[in-house]
Amino acid sequence: MKVITTIAEMRKLRSKQAGSVGLVPTMGYLHEGHLELVRRALLENLTVIVSIFVNPTQFAPEEDFTSYPHDPERDLALLEKERVDLVFMPGAQEMYPEGSSSWVEVEKVTERLEGDFRPGHFRGVATVVAKLFNITQPHRAYFGQKDAQQLAVIRKMVSDLNMNLEVVAVPTVREPDGLALSSRNTYLSPKERKAALVLWKSLSLAQELWQKGERSAAPIRQEMTSLIESEPLAKIDYVSIADPETLEELEEIDRPALVSMAVKIGKTRLIDNITLGE
């Protein structure tokens, strides 16, 4: 495994790779969810590149950029164990040199849900992902379904800008009790960790109601909301039942529907989702 920190060296090494190349973009502090992306990429490509870069442009001033968890030595040990070929670990100055002023903006699909609560977030995401695609030139790029809106934004960007790669979604990896794996779970106290299970319980409730024949979105949203509000440590940002591509809210579930939410447990903001009718 080779670790690269500059764009010039990354491009030089990439030019020597024959066959298919898979990219797994991450912000580090890797967990089993990230490793599932890596394993999928290793199955489907001759060469796998993992990027580790905590992207400052997708954090708002009041968000947790400076405190975002990181442990690069542990990350590299995990990736070496998985037999990853190349790890790209640039610094902020390498990715955004002085004078950088170009951005990638994806409209409409970024204007709902996370876009309502995190203005500018997806501009930062789309820009850094486009840069990583340009630098590494992958045939396939791997993203977790847990960040469903991010996945929709990246797919839209790739389609609209005629980028020559496949975006591969990998199912959410969960703890045995259902909590979706996230680097931010480390912020949770034991009491908050227990309270955070209300996200999975509410998604399971939506699945149960749908399986029993409920096709109207409003009562499912209401039942989910009531369940989450019954947890004293939980504060809802949104509960959504929407089209998985456009993220427009649905009245009737007459096609696959993305059920998603953002909930603060104490000071920690968690997101999760499932898709009904896949």
Check pLDDT > 90 for residue 97: yes
pTM value is 0.96
d(CA 94, CA 100) in angstroms, rounded, equals 11
Ramachandran angles phi, psi of 159, nearest 5°: -70, -50
pLDDT at 62: 86
Ramachandran angles phi, psi of 264, nearest 5°: -90, 125
Mean pLDDT, the chain, rounded, equals 97
Ramachandran angles phi, psi of 176, nearest 5°: -55, -30
Check pLDDT > 90 for residue 46: yes
* Complete edge-to-edge strand list for the sheet that includes strand 166-170: 2-4, 86-88, 47-52, 21-26, 140-144, 166-170
Q: Cα(first)–Cα(last) distance of the chain, in Å?
A: 37
Check pLDDT > 90 for residue 272: yes
d(CA 26, CA 65) in angstroms, rounded, equals 14
In which band, very low, low, confident or very high, does the pLDDT at 215 lie, cut at 50, 70 and 90? very high
**Percent of the chain whose predicted confidence (pLDDT) is above 90:** 97
Which CATH number applies to 183-270? 3.30.1300.10
Give pLDDT tens digits for 84-95. Answer: 999 999 999 999
Domain limits of the chain?
Answer: 2-170, 183-270
Ramachandran angles phi, psi of 88, nearest 5°: -105, 115
Q: Tokens at residue 229, please?
A: 């509000």
Residue type (1 letter), 173? V
List the single range of 58-62, 108-112, 273-277 with lowest mean pLDDT.
Answer: 58-62
Check pLDDT > 90 for residue 128: yes
Which 3 state secondary structure label does DSSP give 50?
strand
* Catalytic annotation present for 34: yes
**69-84: average pLDDT:** 97
Catalytic residue selected from 31, 34, 121, 139: 34
Whose structure tokens read 């809802």?
A: 236
Which CATH fold topology does 2-170 show? Rossmann fold (3.40.50)
CB 262 within 8 A of CB 116: no
In which band, very low, low, confident or very high, does the pLDDT at 65 lie, cut at 50, 70 and 90? very high
pLDDT at 224: 98
